[in-house]
Amino acid sequence: MSDFRLQAPHAHHLRVQRTARYYTLGGSGAAPRTIWFVIHGYGQLAGEFVRFFSDLANDDTLVVAPEAMNRFYLVNPDKAPARDRPVGATWMTREDRDSEIADYVEYLDALFDEVAADAVRDGALVNVIGFSQGTATATRWVTHGRSSLHRLVLWGGLIPPETNLARGPEALRHLPLTLVLGSRDHYVSEVMLATEQARLDAARIPYDLIRFDGGHVITRAAFGQLIGSGAATD
């Protein structure tokens, strides 16, 4: 047998253009005074996710739901033909994660420029809600992006663990932060919540906490508290 050694492959990256999809509700007035970016979780699609926030939308309030650009079938091919298999989207996986994060931060900044930049120059305020996997996406947008955002809401999820709160980022120190969590959320335990609160307290990052009776879901029952606890509104 010949002495044959496999060469290790070299990874390369090529920047390409992509077509991203997003949905909106409300904002039918001359110019929105309040904008909510709502960032969906793993396996969801923006067109369905945005419906959960219809109570927030009106003539003066625009709700914007960006969709992650990594779509996939939610069930195996042997379960149903392609035409019948439900589709979801994910913001990233562990594979090539740094590129994925950089790409979606750039995407969200471009979407901000498209739908919110002019309104913000005219005085509109922008809230960002991340749900489940979207909490990490929203936090990274706030900490790594360039958009003018006024409030961060993490619903059913926590700040991504790589975020070094002890030495920054400054964005989290000057942006109102709200945590929203159901009493029976199976992804965020009471121990995890207590650890996150201790982490924020140690870094002297202020936050509000909203609890509701329920699981890992978006519920309109929490909207009153969400708005009343300091949503950025005109």
Kindly report, residue by residue over 95-131, the tens digit of the pLDDT.
999 999 999 999 999 999 999 999 999 999 999 999 9
Residue-level pLDDT at 118: 94
Show the domains of the chain with their CATH numbers.
22-228 (3.40.50.1820)
Residue 1 has pLDDT above 60, yes or no: no
Range with the poorest average pLDDT among 63-67, 164-168, 222-226: 164-168
Taking CB atoms within 8 Å and a gap of at least 24, the contacts of 224-233 are 226/153, 226/178, 226/180, 227/56, 229/178, 230/151, 230/176, 230/178, 231/34, 231/127, 231/151, 232/34, 232/125, 232/126, 232/127, 232/150, 232/151, 232/176, 233/33, 233/34, 233/61, 233/125
The reported pTM is 0.92
